[in-house]
Structure 1
Amino acid sequence: MTGAITAEGWGGEPVPPRFNLAAHALMAARVTPEKTAFIVAHDAADPAADEIWSYSDLDLAVRRTASALTGLGLGRGDRVMLRLGNSSHCAVGFLAAAAIGAVPIPVSSQLTAAEIDFMAGDADVRLVICDPGLEVGPATRSRPMILASELAERARLAVPAPFADTAADDPGYLVYTSGTTRSPKGVLHAHRALWGRRPAYADWLGLGATDIVLHAGSLNWTYTLGVGLLDPLACGATGAIHAGHHDPAVWPKLIDRLGATIFAAVPSVYRQILKYCEMSSDSLPSLRHGVAAGETLRADLVEAWYTATGRWIYEAFGMSEISTYISMPPAGRPRPGTPGRPQRGRAVALLPPEDGVRPVAFGEAGVLAVHRSDPSLMIGYWNRPDENSFRGDWFVTGDLAVMDSDGYIHPCGRLDDVVKVMGYRVSPVEIEAALEAHPAVAEAAVVAVEARPGVSILRAFVVPAAGAMLDADSLSAFARTRLAAYKTPKDYMLVDALPRTANGKLQRARLRQLSP
């Protein structure tokens, strides 16, 4: 085997042909029924407000809710929208729908009524489980709806249902990507997706049955749904989320109070903790390490966190369609400038950006691709039969990267973010990394904007470090020492913050709309 490729097919343990993700997630209920499975903290300062679910409690609630859903006429393949906050209702509802072979759709509590209407119509949902404080539009209201509290009451009186005998390839859940310039699209996963997450347990999370994983995100996001709920359950460990206000000071308090051994968040959360909290190695006695995904983890943040706490942060790279498949194993100092290597068992290749299935050479930029045999790969895009992201047996992610001779991946941005300036192909990620090396720069983002018809220039949006003095001339001079002339931004804007989604991802489309 030559070039930037790890294998020609899935090398992990084969997926059982009959597989239900809810049943798999709750296996520990048969082995350690009284062990704590899931914690919902409502107040960082008040342990009495915590919801503490044992494996037997959670298993019973899921199977009773599954029975209640069946009583409402739900069955295999029916789409169930979870219009819920970050709560146990969301966790139980997701698992219960999957338990009967229905297809849960967790959606963000921050979406507008119009966005919810689009998703409900696109997925043709058969039931909406909702919280009373979350708005829905007229199109959604025309569909069957039930309050989460009413469903819980029905479940309390129901006979526990058995788990459906689903095939591993049967539809398991549906998530919508956060669209920017177009409508969001549904990503349909099979039940086998949970089995496909197994390589990450050793090669990123370092997850075992004795761990308590605290996740700073919300369950509607696949990062939180997986790392904060499904992965701990599948390993017989304990997952924890916070349902209250996400002030930075909350997280150190909860890590200490819950005895969390692994903390999961986007990098910006770690940065906020360092900025607003007094941290030391004595602050987090239970924590073994942190993990990060969702946006690029800068090397200076990793070092600052280690200096302040004595713990490392380990990064992972992925997408809604495949989950995390590249990561840094939790062993010693992370390698700077890379999120890690493809997890063991995964078949990952870097293909030519334009076309072809022959991997590029080590050190050459290509588009990341995952073999279709990977069980964590989506079934496909919902209601988009003409959207084909495959080249032969390879799912093409659209992420550009370089694989070095040691197998480490160095991302170069999205293929659709790469722009042509002065006839050159330019990656914004490379330019951002150069600007962020400036000691007075906290964050930077670069986009191409049309200066006049047919002429594009690079514009950099820069967040100054706290208390720093910056101006466009000094930034331009600094960039010219590190970048070729055609890669140097022609325009600079100083901003207080970069626009991000609720999950912390940079919104380049919004940056393009800003005027100097």
Structure 2
Amino acid sequence: MSFPAPEIARGFTGEACPARFNLARYCLARAAAETPAKTALIVISDAEAPIDAAEHWTYGELDEAVRRIAAGLFAEGFRPGERLMIRMPNTSDYALLFFGAIAAGLVPLPSSSMLTEAEADFLLTDSHAAAVAVSGELAVHAGKARVIDDVMLKRLKAHPPLGDYADTEANDPAFLVYTSGTSGRPKGVLHAQRSAWGRRPMYQGWYGIGPADVVLHAGAFNWTYTLGVGLQDPWANGATTVLYIGPKDVHVWPRLLERTRATLFAAVPTLYRQILKYCDLASHDLSALRHGLTAGEALSPALLRHWREETGKNLYEALGMSECSTYISTGPSMEIRAGSPGKPQPGRCIAVLPVDGDTEPLPTGETGMLAVHRSDPGLMLGYWQRPGDESEVYRGEWFIGGDLASFDEDGYLWYHGRADDVMNAMGYRVSPAEVEAALSDHPGIAEVAVTEMHVRDDVTVIAAFVVPKGGKQPDKASILAHAEERLAAYKRPREIVFVESLPRTANGKIMRRTLAAK
């Protein structure tokens, strides 16, 4: 049944971002001034060691360290607007460099430590980064870019601090992240300083966060989910964030929740599912945990029900994208409807538009393209050096992210998948074309198509459908090894399926959804 389209205020209705705005100052300066001795960051490398033995940073120390790095970058000759790629493990140095670069008006590019050397080289080249910060074990061909190694980083951290954060405008570039596109070539998403202000609707619309909270996030810093939920938002609210950098054994998370007295836990549904499967939650004291946060992939009703039964706690889901972070969510002040990621956060202007290109929102109950109004302060500045890609995602006053959805009569959104072939792997968007390109030069492969395949009702994996060369099936292990050399772990296929031919349309386009249904 359809109802008239809901009344939509054509534009973001939240508080306007100040014209002069620096993301790093917004996240750190207030708490550093008001509660300088309060713990802002706890870095744990050994889940069994006493918490007192972990690395602790107060707001005062964090603020000063970030301004030291900003001043050090200037002293080394870097200038505002230059890109600084970060290719390091998840450590406090990663966070300090990210915020220090923004404090200086530079544009950090956080990258994943899981990327292969070739993948990292592409980001460095495409971004025209002036420098790359690397740890010893993560190689990269720097080319003309300067290398910030451990020696230079130590020098940056020892520099007298900058007197104040860069006096940037709200629309000045703040950071650059890369995401997969349908073309198979990763593209840079350039975010403005105002992106942190654009996260304000999440504070109560998703988290219910306050200064007393302790936030444990299970993700990595190359992901906007972690940069935002794990660092920016806790610090902007004067809360404490916990970073775990030890071995990622699933059993560690209940122990950390108990020992840190975390009040909020953020992860992808896959990790919650693994915790329920392998951990004895009844043996851990989770009384401090108020609720869990989940994003990156759909939260199934079965997983939500199982988590509630085992912990007595809720999971609040959010839906978003690299170009705008999250904008639809459930939260403590609203009812959860299992299977729905929730409602638009307060102040957001969200609509469902016709697939065919019209700009008028569809009636309630009809499925179309999920759209965010371009006035949203969390929306990206644009795609890095890809104006052609931008023309494909803007439709009048709306940004179209590629998701199909509908609203019900109570304002809850129901997700109906992607309109394109982009896959979701452990919360990361992955282009099938990128994976296909990496596999296609295997000597035993004539043709290959990649898509998501269900292995259980609520679990999908990346699968490669291979047409063998010369009719002789290659060894599956050799294909997986080939992928390992060329692709980050989360992009690699988990299943190899041999087929005689690939289904195609009359125009020759591979019908990936047909393959997935086999």
Overall identity of the aligned pairs, in %:
48
Matched residue, 2:497: 514
Write the deviation string for residues 130-183 of structure 1: whole angstroms up to 9, x where unpaired. Answer: 1111121x3x24420011453133321434342111000000100001457611
Residue from 8, 32, 44 that aligns with 2:35: 32
Equivalent residue in structure 2 for 1:116, among 93, 116, 120: 120
Superposition CA RMSD, Å:
2.7
Query: Paired residue for 2:137, among 133, 138, 148?
Result: 133
Deviation for aligned residue 1:459: 9.2
Q: Secondary structure at the match of 1:187?
A: strand
- For the residue of structure 2 that corresponds to 1:399, the secondary structure is strand
1:414-456 CA-partner distances (Å, limit 9, x unpaired): 11149xxxxxxxxx99xxxxxxxxxxxxxxxxx9xxxxxxxx9
Task: Provide the residue aligned with 2:282 in structure 1.
Answer: 280
SS at match of 1:7: coil
The answer (yes or no) to whether the contact 1:5–1:347 under 8 Å persists in 2 is no
Q: Does the 8 A contact of 1:351 with 1:366 survive in 2?
A: yes
Correspondence for 2:309: 307
SS in structure 2 at match of 1:264: strand
Q: How do residues 158-237 of structure 1 correspond to structure 2 at under 5 angstroms? A: 158-178=160-180, 182-237=184-239
Deviation at 1:50, TM superposition (A): 1.5
Q: Deviations over 1:463-502 (max 9, x none)?
A: 4999xxxxxxxxxxxxxxxxxxxxxxxxxxxxxxxx9997
Give the one of 455, 465, 488 matched to 1:462.
455
Aligned counterparts of 2:264 and 2:452: Cα–Cα separation in 1: 38
In structure 1, what residue type is equivalent to 2:126? D
- Give the CA deviation at 1:39: 1.4
Which amino acid in the other structure matches residue 336 of structure 2? P
Deviation at 1:385, TM superposition (A): 1.3
**What is the Cα deviation at residue 411 of structure 1?**
0.6
Q: Alignment partner for residue 42 of structure 1, among 40, 45, 53?
A: 45
Contact 1:207–1:235 under 8 Å retained in 2: yes
Once residues 147 and 160 of structure 1 are traced to their aligned partners in structure 2, the CA distance between those partners, rounded to angstroms, is 21
Distance, in Å, in 1 between the alignment partners of 2:230 and 2:395 is 33
Structure 1 pair 417–143 and aligned structure 2 pair: CA distance change class (3 A):
closer
Q: Does 1:356 align with 2:358?
A: yes
- Mapped to 1, the partners of 2:206 and 2:72 lie a distance apart of 37
CA distance in 1, matches of 2:160, 2:489: 36
Q: Tell me which amino acid in the other structure corresponds to 2:497.
A: L
Q: 1:364 to 1:66 in 2, by over 3 A?
A: same
User: Aligned pair in 2 of structure 1 residues 349, 82: CA closer, same or farther (>3 Å)?
Assistant: same
Q: Which residue does the alignment assign to 2:149? A: 147
Aligned counterparts of 1:250 and 1:22: Cα–Cα separation in 2 = 31
Q: What is the letter of the counterpart of residue 405 of structure 2?
A: A
User: Which SS does the other structure have where 2:152 is aligned?
Assistant: helix
More deviation, 29-38/326-335: 326-335
2: CA distance between counterparts of 1:318 and 1:465?
A: 19
Q: 1:316·1:324 contact (CA, 8 Å) conserved in 2?
A: yes
1:394 matched to 2:387: no
Match of 1:370, SS?
Answer: strand
Give the CA deviation at 1:503: 9.5
Match of 1:100 in 2: 104
Q: Deviations over 1:31-87 (max 9, x none)?
A: 000001111111111125411110000001000010111111112111011111101
2:281 maps to amino acid: M
| Counterpart for residue 412 of structure 2 | 408
**CA apart distance, 1:280:** 2.7
Return closer, same or farther for 1:459/1:278 CA change in 2, 3 Å cut-off.
closer
Name 2:244's counterpart in structure 1: 242
Query: Higher mean Cα deviation, 236-245 or 409-418?
Result: 409-418
What secondary structure, in the 3-state scheme, does the structure 2 residue paired with 1:38 have? strand
Counterpart-to-counterpart distance in 2, 1:58 and 1:308: 37
In structure 1, stretches of 5+ residues that fail to align are 419-427, 430-446, 448-455, 467-498
Query: Structure 1 pair 228/503, CA: closer, same or farther in 2 (3 Å)?
Result: farther
Distance 1:128 1:279 in 2: 41
Q: Distance in 1 between matches of 2:498 and 2:7?
A: 42
Any idea what the Cα deviations from partners look like across 1:201-238, whole Å, max 9, x if unmatched? 10101111110100001111110010000000001111
Contact (CA 8 Å) 2:182, 2:421: kept in 1 or not? Answer: no
Q: TM-score, normalised by structure 2?
A: 0.81
Report how far residue 2 of structure 1 moved: 4.8
Find the counterpart in structure 1 of residue 514 from structure 2.
none
Corresponding residue of 1:57: 61
Change (3 A) 1:285 1:149: farther
Provide the rounded CA distance (Å) in 2 between the counterparts of 1:110 and 1:282. Answer: 31
Q: Is 1:12 the equivalent of 2:14? A: yes
Is contact 1:283–1:309 with CA below 8 Å preserved after alignment?
no
Distance 1:189 1:116, change over 3 A: same
Q: From 259, 271, 288, give the equivalent of 2:261.
A: 259
3-state SS of the aligned residue for 2:375? coil
Query: Contact conserved, 2:86 with 2:132, CA < 8 A, in 1?
Result: yes
Provide the C-alpha distance between the structure 1 equivalents of 2:301 and 2:319, rounded to a whole number of angstroms.
15
Q: Which moved more, 1:283-292 or 1:331-340?
A: 331-340
Counterparts of 1:214 and 1:149 in 2: how far apart (Å)?
Answer: 30
Aligned pair in 2 of structure 1 residues 5, 297: CA closer, same or farther (>3 Å)? Answer: farther
> 2:71–2:159: 8 Å Cα contact kept in structure 1?
no
Change (3 A) 1:32 1:200: same
Distance (whole Å) between structure 2 residues aligned to residue 303 and residue 143 of structure 1: 50
Does the CA-based 8 Å contact 2:254-2:284 persist in structure 1? Answer: no
Structure 1 residues 510 and 50, CA gap change in structure 2 (3 angstroms): same
Deviations 1:288-326 (A, max 9, x none): 000000011111111111111111111000000010000
Tell me if 1:340 matches 2:342: yes
Cα drift, residue 257 of structure 1:
1.0
Q: Could you list the runs of 5+ residues in structure 2 that have no partner in the other structure? A: 425-431, 433-448, 460-482, 500-518
CA contact (8 A) 1:221 1:503 kept: no
